[in-house]
Homo-oligomer: A and B are copies of this chain.
C-alpha cells in the first residue's frame, strides 16, 4: 500500500472522480467544466483559498454531485415502465376487485432525495406510491421507485414532484388511478441573527403533499382513506397535507420577510449570483424560469453564512475573556465536578461537497462545583462560530475543544453528532446515517472513567 504516499494523492483523486464521470457519460461535456468554474467563483467569494487542501478538488466534486443529482432530466418514463408491465388476470368486476383489475397496490417508505428549486439544497423525500391496476396488467414494484427517482433528480418543489410522479405513472401504467404521498424534509435555513436569538430552531422543515389521478382525483374519495389506512403509524391525515397553491412557501430560504430581501441582496456578490445561474443553466434548466429566478441570490445568501471570517469579529471580545480558574493546584482538582451542556445545535457546510451538515454538540468539562464561568450562551456562540464555516466535522470538534480549554480549565470533552447532506444525496444515498466525532483534552485524554461518565450522560435519541 505504498502508493498511499502523498505523491500520488492528487492524481489518484482526479482519476477516480473522472472515472465516475466517464461511467455517467458526463466527462466529455463542457457543462461539468462550467460548473467547476462557477464553484471556484463561489469559493473565492467566501474568502477561501481555492488551492488549499480540502478545497482543491471541491469544484470537481460539486460538479459531479450536481450532475449525478440531476440525471432525471435525461431519463424518460417510457424506458422505465414499459419493460416492466406484466399481464395479470384480475377478478371479475361483478365479484370484486384485485389482481390486474382493481385492488390497491402500494409501495411504502421509498427514500429519495431531490434538489430544492428555491435554494439548490438537497431535500429528503419519503414517498408512498399506490395505484389501482386496470386492463389486466400490473407494473414491477421497483418501477414505482425508479419513476420517483426520475422526477426527484431534478430541481423540484414537493407538490410538483408528487404531481409529476402521479401523472407519469398514470400515463405509463394506464391504471384506474394513481396516488402519491411525499413527506419532504428540508434542512433549516438559519441566519446568524436569528440563531443568536433562538438557539433551538428545529433541524428539519417538513411538508406533506399528495397527488391523485383517476379514482384518486377526488381528495374526498373513500379510496384515499384506504390508501392512508395502509400507511398506519406514519401519522398521515388529510388535514396535514399542504393545501395546493398555498401561499406559504415551504423552503425556508423564502421565509425571510420580503422587506429583508432587498437589503440582503444589496450585500450579495453579483459574480457569485451569476455563477450559480450558470450552474443552473449547465444542469439543463432555464435560470429565468419563474421559480428559479430568485434561486441564485438565495443560494448565495445561504452560502455566505459560511464565509471565512465574519464571526471572528463577533466573538473576539468574548474569547479574550480570562476566567478565574479555581483549583489550579492539584488538591483543588479533586473537588472539580463533571459539568455538561448537551445538545447545542450547529449548522455547517461540508467543504468537500459544499453541502450542509447539521447536528448537535455535547460539551463536558471539569470545574469547581457551582461554577459556570462562561455560561451556555457563550458555549452556543462558540459552537456556531466554528459551525458557520466551510468545515469538516473532525476539525469542528477539535476547534471547539481547543477554544473552550483555556476558558473551562483545560479538561474538555466534545462530542459532535451530525447528519451530513453529502451522505444522503449524491451517489451514496445513505439515508438515516449519522456521524459522531470526539475530541478530548486534559484529564479526559487519560481518564477513561471520565470519558465513560460523560458518554453515559448523552441523550439516547437525537432528532437532529
Q: Is the beta-carbon distance between B142 and A460 smaller than 8 angstroms?
A: no
Q: Is the beta-carbon distance between A88 and B397 smaller than 8 angstroms?
A: no
List B contacts of A394 (CB < 8 A).
88, 98-100, 103, 105, 133, 138
Q: Is the beta-carbon distance between B98 and A398 smaller than 8 angstroms?
A: yes
**Which of A412, A414, A423: most chain B Cβ within 10 A?**
A423
Q: Is the beta-carbon distance between B82 and A445 smaller than 8 angstroms?
A: no
List B contacts of A397 (CB < 8 A).
98-99, 103
Which of A8-16, A39-47, A312-320 lies on the face that meets chain B? Answer: A8-16
List B contacts of A256 (CB < 8 A).
none
Q: How far is the CB of A296 from chain B (nearest CB, A)?
A: 27
Q: How far is the CB of A168 from chain B (nearest CB, A)?
A: 10
**Which of A13, A15, A80, A393: most chain B Cβ within 10 A?**
A13
A439-B108 CB under 8 A given contacts A229-B452, A428-B142, A452-B222: no
Residue of B nearest to A454 (CB): B229
Interface residues of A in 376-425 (CB under 8 A from B): 392-395, 397-398, 401-402, 405, 412, 414-415, 417, 420, 422-423
A214 at the interface (CB under 8 A from B): no
Q: Is the beta-carbon distance between A109 and B78 smaller than 8 angstroms?
A: no
A33 at the interface (CB under 8 A from B): no
Q: In the bound complex, what is the Cα–Cα distance between A392 and B89 (angstroms)?
A: 12
Interface residues of A in 143-158 (CB under 8 A from B): 145-146
Q: Which of B84, B103, B226, B440 contacts A97 (CB 8 A)?
A: B440
A433-B100 CB under 8 A given contacts A83-B17, A172-B1, A438-B226: no
Number of copies of chain A assembled together? 2
Q: Is the beta-carbon distance between B96 and A222 smaller than 8 angstroms?
A: no
Q: Which of B1, B78, B97, B445 contacts A96 (CB 8 A)?
A: B445
Q: In the bound complex, what is the Cα–Cα distance between A171 and B80 (angstroms)?
A: 41
Q: Is the beta-carbon distance between B398 and A433 smaller than 8 angstroms?
A: no
A196 at the interface (CB under 8 A from B): no
Q: Is the beta-carbon distance between B111 and A432 smaller than 8 angstroms?
A: yes
Q: Is the beta-carbon distance between B17 and A455 smaller than 8 angstroms?
A: no
Q: In the bound complex, what is the Cα–Cα distance between A348 and B435 (angstroms)?
A: 37
Interface residues of A in 1-36 (CB under 8 A from B): 1, 3-4, 8-9, 12-17, 19, 23
19 contacts between A and B (CB under 8 A): A4-B82, A15-B79, A16-B80, A23-B23, A88-B394, A88-B395, A91-B441, A95-B441, A96-B442, A98-B440, A99-B395, A103-B398, A105-B393, A106-B435, A107-B435, A110-B430, A138-B394, A142-B426, A230-B415
Enumerate chain A interface residues (CB-CB to B < 8 A).
Answer: 1, 3-4, 8-9, 12-17, 19, 23, 53-54, 78-91, 95-100, 103-111, 133, 138, 140-142, 145-146, 171-172, 174, 222, 225-226, 229-230, 232-233, 352, 392-395, 397-398, 401-402, 405, 412, 414-415, 417, 420, 422-423, 426, 428-442, 444-445, 448, 451-452, 455-456, 458-461
